[in-house]
Amino acid sequence: MRLFLLILVFPALLFGQRLSGLDGVAEEIRFANPVLGVGIRGIAMGGAHISASDDYSSTFYNPANLSFMTRPELSASISHTNMKNTTIYNGVESNRDRSKTRIEYLGGVYVIPTERGGASVAVSGGRIYPFDGILYGKDDSREFLEISNGGVYGVDFSGGIQVAPGLGLGATFRLLTGSENYSWDLERYYADDDLQKVIISDNITYDYSGLGLKFGLTYSPLPFLRLAGTIDFPQSITI
C-alpha cells in the first residue's frame, strides 16, 4: 500500500518541488530519487539484479559479475517515451502530448584471456536519470505550460576478476554529466482594462556533474547458486 501511494503522489511531488525550486528547495533532493535501472532484464526484476546480471549491465548492478563472463559483448538499448497530459482546470479540459525516441544505453565488455578463473573490463554509458515532463492547462483567463527535458548520464569504467575459484571481485568508477532544460510559461488575460495580457516566462538550465564509486563481490560455490553484495560510496554531485 505504501508503494502504491508513493507511485500516485510522485508526479505531484516532482512538479511541486520544481515549482518551489526558485524559493530555495535543493535540487540535490530531487536528484536523490531512485533511478530506473539499466537493461530490460534488470528493470523487469525491479533492480534485484545484483547476483543475476551476466552481461554489460553488471557495470551498473555488480561489477564483480564481469569476472564470470566468457565472451565479449556489445549491447545497446533504445527507449521511446510518449507522454499524454490531460488537464481539467476550472472546468476547461486541455490536452498536450510529447514523444521522443533516443539511444538509452550503450555498453561493451572485453574478456581478458586467462589460464584460470576469469577477468573482464567494460565501458558503458547511458541516461540514468530522466527529466522529461510536461504540464499544460488553461481556462478562459489564463494558459500555462511547464516543460522539462534532458537527463543525467553515467559513464562507467568497470573491471572484474576472480581471485579464487568461484569468488569474483569488481569495481566501477562512474562519471556523471548532464543537464536539464526547464521552462514555465504563463499567459494571463484581462478584459475591460488597460492591461490586456501578462506573460510570465521562466527558462532555467541546470548542469550536472559528479563522481561515483562501487565495489562488488560475488561468490558462486555451485553452478546454480550465487551470493553477491555491493558497496556504493556516496556520490559527489555538482549542480
pLDDT digits (tens, 9 = 90+) for 92-131: 888 888 888 888 888 899 999 988 889 999 998 888 888 8
CA gap 120, 54 in Å, rounded: 12
Q: What is the pLDDT of residue 36?
A: 64
DSSP SS3 for 35: coil
Q: What is the pLDDT of residue 173?
A: 95
Going by C-alpha positions, the residue among 24, 37, 123, 25 that lies closest to residue 72 is: 123
CA gap 106, 56 in Å, rounded: 9
**Chain segment 8-33, per-residue pLDDT in tens:** 444 444 444 444 444 444 555 555 55
**Which residues are bridge partners to 137 per DSSP?**
144
Q: Indicate the class that CATH gives domain 34-238.
A: mainly beta
What does pTM read for this prediction?
0.73
CA gap 68, 218 in Å, rounded: 9
Instruction: Please say whether the beta carbons of 53 and 62 come within 8 A.
Output: yes
Overall size of the chain counted in residues: 239
pLDDT in tens, the chain (239 residues): 344 333 444 444 444 444 444 444 455 555 555 566 677 777 777 767 788 888 888 888 899 999 999 899 998 888 888 878 888 888 888 888 888 888 888 889 999 998 888 999 999 888 888 888 888 888 888 888 898 888 888 899 999 999 999 999 999 999 999 999 999 999 988 877 677 888 999 999 999 999 999 999 999 998 889 899 999 998 888 88
Domain coordinates in residue numbering, the chain: 34-238
Longest CA–CA separation in the chain, Å: 87
DSSP SS3 for 206: strand
